[in-house]
Amino acid sequence: MTHREFADKLEAHKNTVYRISFSYLKNIQDAEDITQEVFLKFYSCGVDFPAAVNEKAWLIKVTANLCKNQLRRNKFRKTVPFDEALLTGESSDFMESDIEAIDLLFALPPKYRTVLYLFYYERYTTREIALLLGKNENTVRTLLARGREKLRDILTDDLGHEMGSSGQSGQQGGFIYG
């Protein structure tokens, strides 16, 4: 693969790899490190994929595996989690509604977060997600259903708190829950 081809592929897939990394790790620097590591592996593997879909699937699978490895390593480190995006004031490519949705996804355990992200943001089918994550297709459907239920519970709790405290409907900044 030439440098130009690699640059084109990097540009096409870097946001997906970064967002998946960030959804697992919730840390800007770790997500950037994983993104860099994924593309180094991609460049050095030298495999020509028969289709762009296979290439993207490989990148997602490697990203997920490297993030899981990082999370295992992090168990042995003493860290204090914090929301770096708020502290640094950095903007992202997400729109405000995307940020609200991503915040809701972060409230979920990784097993739900990953399948919901791949299904709704990357537009993969349950069969494709099952292949990417090495899970049974029915397991993916179950994770999607349970993840949706957990999101519904979070939204219902938020709506209940808003109704109880202000007596108004669940409307906030033009975004209607439900």
Average pLDDT taken over every residue of the chain? 78
Mean pLDDT of 139-155: 91
Least confident range of 34-38, 70-74, 171-175: 171-175
| pTM for the predicted model, two decimal places | 0.52
Arch. (CATH architecture) of 1-93 = Orthogonal Bundle (1.10)
Higher pLDDT, 169 or 36: 36
**Burial letters for 50-80: b for 16+ Cβ neighbours within 10 Å, e otherwise?**
eeeeebbbbbbebbbebbeebeeeeeeeeee
The correct CATH number of 94-170 out of 2.160.10.10, 1.10.10.10, 3.40.50.150, 3.40.140.10 is 1.10.10.10
Return d(Cα 178, Cα 165) in angstroms, integer: 18
Higher pLDDT, 57 or 121: 57
Q: What is the pLDDT of residue 173?
A: 42
For tokens 């995307």, what's the residue?
98
Mean pLDDT of 104-121: 85
Q: What is the pLDDT of residue 99?
A: 66
Domain residue spans of the chain: 1-93, 94-170
Same CATH fold, 94-170 and 1-93?
A: no
75-84 tens-digit pLDDT: 765 544 444 4
Q: What is the pLDDT of residue 177?
A: 40
